[in-house]
Amino acid sequence: MAISNVGIVGAGQMGNGIAHVFSLAGFDVLLNDISAEALENGMVSIKANMSRQVARGKITDAEMAAALARIRTTETLSELGPSDLIIEAATERETIKQAIFEDLLPHLTPDTILTSNTSSISITRLASRTDRPEKFMGFHFMNPVPLMELVELIRGIATDEATFAAMKEVVERLGKTPASAEDFPAFIVNRILMPMINEAIYTLYEGVGSVKSIDTSLKLGAHHPMGPLELADFIGLDTCLAIMNVLHEGLADTKYRPCPLLTKYVEAGWYGRKAGRGFYDYRGDEPVPTR
C-alpha cells in the first residue's frame, strides 16, 4: 500500500505535531479542524516548531519551506476522503471519534486506511463502527510529536497484515521507531505511565509530599526529565483522567482508580499548562505550585 497523501483530523497539539513530521518526511498533508481559528493556531505552532528546528540546525530553511508547502488546511471533513491514510487526532472522547469516522465513510476510497491517535480507547470497538475494520489501526504518537521517537502501532482484532506492514513502513519513513501493542486499555506507554502519575497525585493527596518535593524526588531520585505532576500538567489533567477512567473501567481493577484530587482539578477546569493552571500555576513568569 503506497502512502503519499495523508489526512489529519484535529489541528490541536497532537494533530499539528503529526502534520509537522509527515510534511517534513515528504508526505502531502491535508489538516482538518472544525474552526478556522484552530487551523490557524495549528499552522502557527507548526511554523514556530519548525523554526526552532532550523535554529538548532536540525533542518534547513529550504526543508522548512518545502514542508510547509506540503500542508493544506480545510474545515470540510469530507475533503479528506481521497487520502491514502487518515489519522484521527481529535478529543479523547469515543463518541466524538465515532462520529468523525461515520461522517468520513461515504467519502473514502476503497483503499483508504483509517487510524486513530487515541491514547487509550479500544481500536477494535472504533473499527467496528466503520466499513473497513481490516484497514483500521491505532497509530499512537507521543507528545511532543516532533521530538518523541516512538509510535505505538495497535492492531484491532480484524486488522490485516497488509495494513500493519504499511503503517510500520510509514513510521520508519518518519524516522521514528514503531512498537507493536495489543488492543488492551491504554496499550503500553500509558498503561505504565498513567498509574505512576496517578500514584504521584495520591502521594500529594495524602500529604506525603508537596508538589515541589514529589517532582524533585522523581527528577533527582529516579533521573526522570520531568516530575510526574509537571508531566501531568504537560499532558493535560483532563487527558490523564480520561485514560485512568478507561483503565479502571476496562480492567476492573481498583489499582487504576483515579485519585479524587485529579478529578477535583479537572472539575475546576485546572487542566494544566493549556488552561494556565494545574498542579502548577502558569500565569506568571515562572510556574508556581498550587499545593
The residue from 32, 117, 190, 198 that is catalytic is: 190
The residue from 119, 120, 122, 198 that is catalytic is: 119
The residue from 94, 152, 198, 230 that is catalytic is: 152
Angstrom distances, CA of residue 278 to CA of 55, 211, 232, 257, 273: 31, 11, 9, 20, 7
3-state helix, strand, coil in the chain (%, to 5): 50, 15, 35
CB-CB contact of 186 with 120 (8 Å): yes
Cell of 201: 497525585
Strands (E), 117-198: 136-141, 150-155, 177-181
Cell of 224: 526522570
C-alpha–C-alpha distance, residues 233 and 216, integer Å: 15
Is 190 part of the annotated catalytic residue set?
yes
153 C-beta neighbours (distance < 10 Å), count: 21
Is 140 part of the annotated catalytic residue set?
yes
C-alpha–C-alpha distance, residues 137 and 87, integer Å: 10
Is the torsion defined by CA of 262, 264, 265, 271 positive or negative?
positive
Is 213 part of the annotated catalytic residue set?
no
The residue from 88, 120, 140, 230 that is catalytic is: 140
Q: Catalytic site residues?
A: 119, 140, 152, 190
